[in-house]
Amino acid sequence: MPFAVLVRGPSMAPTLRHGDALIVRRGGRATRPGDVVVARFRTRPDLLVVKRAVRAQDGGWWLHGDNELVADDSRAYGVADVVGRVVLRYWPRPGFMLKFRTG
């Protein structure tokens, strides 16, 4: 079942910006490197994040933000468990999520 999330903060700029509204799909095809995902870090289960999947690791995923100046990703928090894959941005600039980077 798809669900909506709102991007907070600059960690995924320039791909996504603060205030972008996204549709996320649970299930479906398996996560692949380069996918933009919604996940929870095992060390921060209270924090739901939008990041780019870099590689499978320890039964989860190593994630990075697209903004090289912000390191609030696996470099700080370790492995994450993917909740779902971002499939579309619907506000304010509609568009499908393509693999712009792979890490």
Identify the band that residue 25 occupies on the pLDDT scale cut at 50, 70 and 90.
very high
Angstrom CA distances, 82 to 69, 92, 94, stand at 23, 25, 23
Cβ neighbours, 10 Å, residue 32: 12
pTM score, two decimals? 0.89
Mean pLDDT in residue range 20-31: 94
- Domain-by-domain residue ranges, the chain? 3-96
Domain 3-96: which CATH class?
A: mainly beta
41-59 pLDDT, tens per residue? 999 999 999 999 999 999 9
pLDDT score for 94: 83
Identify the band that residue 100 occupies on the pLDDT scale cut at 50, 70 and 90.
very low
